[in-house]
Structure 1
Amino acid sequence: MRSNELDFLINWGDTDMAGIVYYPNYFKWFDIAGHQFFRSCNLSPLSLEKERGIILPMIDARCTFEKPLFYDDIITVYTTVKEVNNKTIELNHEIFRQKERTGSGYELRGWVEKGEGGIKAVSIPKDIRALLEEDLHTTAQEVKPQYNA
């Protein structure tokens, strides 16, 4: 299955009073990594909406926190397609500080058509399914705007 990796720098505002990363930031990083994953497939969420009327709403998310992260740590989020169903895509995320895994989780996103009558889940086209199931790994390291996330 297709995968992507993305680096982040832990900023002071990402931490709590104990100096440890505040847990909701994992979900923020999952979301950013998920959007970057779709961009790496040439499926930018903005382009999907403008060109196809498709949005990718979050249906479910979960995270397991394994080790604390601290200010100025550099982390890598590895995102992998776990499963592509008829109308949903499940992405797995693993967070590493160097070679040490500090947390993992997933997000389940719907393939949803947005129209005048509202929104409705629709089948993922075969060409998109093939793209997501392709065995390809990409790295977003040329430009690092995510260091400021």
Structure 2
Amino acid sequence: MRENEYEIIVEFGETDGAGIVYFPNYLKWFDNATHRFFREMNLPLSQLTKEKNIILPLIDVRCTFEKPLHDEERIVLKTSVGKMSAKTIQFNHEIYLDGERVSNGYELRGWVFKGDDGISAQPIPKEIRELLSCDGVIEKERSAI
């Protein structure tokens, strides 16, 4: 399955009073990673919404915290496609500090049509399934968020 990775520099505002990354930031990073994943396949989610009325709402999320992270640490977020059903995609996320995994989790997202009458889950098109199933690493982009 396809995978992607990029580097993040932990910002001071992402930490709590103890200087440890505040837990919701992991979910923000997961969400950003999924959006980046699609952008780096030249298929931004904003384009899917604008041109096809497709959104990928979050259905389920999980994060396991193995070691704390702190301000100004450089971390690598690795994202890969996990299980795909007819209408859902699981994105697996792992966070590394100095080559050691410090957190992992997933997002389960639906393939959903957003129309005037509301939203409805749709089968993931064959070409999208093939694109997501393709082996290999998406071109790596290193940047701070």
Name the TM tier (shorter chain): over 0.9
Separation of aligned partners in 2, 1:88 and 1:115 = 19
Q: Give the TM-score normalised by structure 2.
A: 0.96
Number of aligned residues: 144
Q: Secondary structure at the match of 1:140?
A: coil
- Could you say which residue in structure 2 is the equivalent of 1:107? 107
Separation of aligned partners in 2, 1:136 and 1:39 = 16
- Could you say which residue in structure 2 is the equivalent of 1:33? 33
Separation of aligned partners in 2, 1:116 and 1:101 = 43
Alpha-carbon offset, residue 40 of structure 1: 1.4
Alpha-carbon offset, residue 42 of structure 1: 2.0
Separation of aligned partners in 2, 1:84 and 1:14 = 32
Contact 1:84 1:132 (8 Å CA) reproduced: no
- Could you say which residue in structure 2 is the equivalent of 1:19? 19
Q: Unaligned regions of 5+ residues in structure 2, if any? A: none
- Could you say which residue in structure 1 is the equivalent of 2:73? 73
Q: Deviations over 1:98-130 (max 9, x none)?
A: 211110000001000011111100000101000
Root-mean-square deviation (CA), in Å? Answer: 0.8
Q: Percent identity?
A: 53
Q: Unaligned regions of 5+ residues in structure 1, if any? A: none
Q: Give the TM-score normalised by structure 1.
A: 0.94
Structure 1 residue ranges, 4+ long, deviating more than 6 angstroms after superposition: none
